Amino acid sequence: MMNIDELITEYQKQLKEGKIQLAYKGIMEFMSGLRSYINDKYDDLSVGSLYFGYMDMSYFAITNTILRSKNLKIAVVYLHQDNCFELWLSATNKRLQASYINDFKKLDLKRYKLSKSMPHVDSIIEDRLLVNPKFDDQLGLKQEVSTSLIAFISDISAMLDQVK
């Protein structure tokens, strides 16, 4: 394992090449544009601020009337290392998250993955959307993510009707 000084030297070396900054900037510009696209296209959704992250994940949260009434939100997540998009159902606190995880254990979750209630896990249900997305087709990618988001919200709403 490298010590922090060795890691910083490697970090500087990578930054001098310039590719990391360009890729990160492209991802953040896309995420900001996706956030705006969803905000402009869907009046019934409330879109939160973009969390840039620590080069691990970047995301923004979305709620609607139903989710907000149950202290839930959907996160549109980009996982940097995996180069993929996911949708996460999340709660406003860990106690509520654990309660929903327990409730959802009783349901058929289709293709969705039920999370485990443990430290550093912020989701209740996850859906992996796109692996190795094509950022060069920005509009197509925004449409694909937003279409998946609307389907996810619909499925989650139906599941919520079954648990509470």
What is the helix, strand, coil percentage profile of the chain, to 5? 50, 25, 30
Q: What is the tally of structural domains in the chain?
A: 1
Percent residues over pLDDT 70 in the chain: 99
DSSP 116: P
How far is the C-alpha of 87 from the C-alpha of 74, rounded, in Å?
Answer: 7
pTM: 0.92
pLDDT of residue 164: 66
pLDDT band at 56; cut points 50, 70, 90: very high
Whether the Cβ atoms of residue 144 and residue 130 lie closer than 8 Å to each other? yes
**Per residue in 6-53, pLDDT tens?**
999 999 999 999 999 999 999 999 999 999 999 999 999 999 999 999
- Return the minimum-mean-pLDDT range out of 41-45, 82-86, 105-109, 155-159: 105-109
Which domain range does residue 20 map to?
A: 4-163
- Averaged over 111-129, what is the pLDDT? 91
* Residue with tokens 């996706």, as numbered in its chain: 34
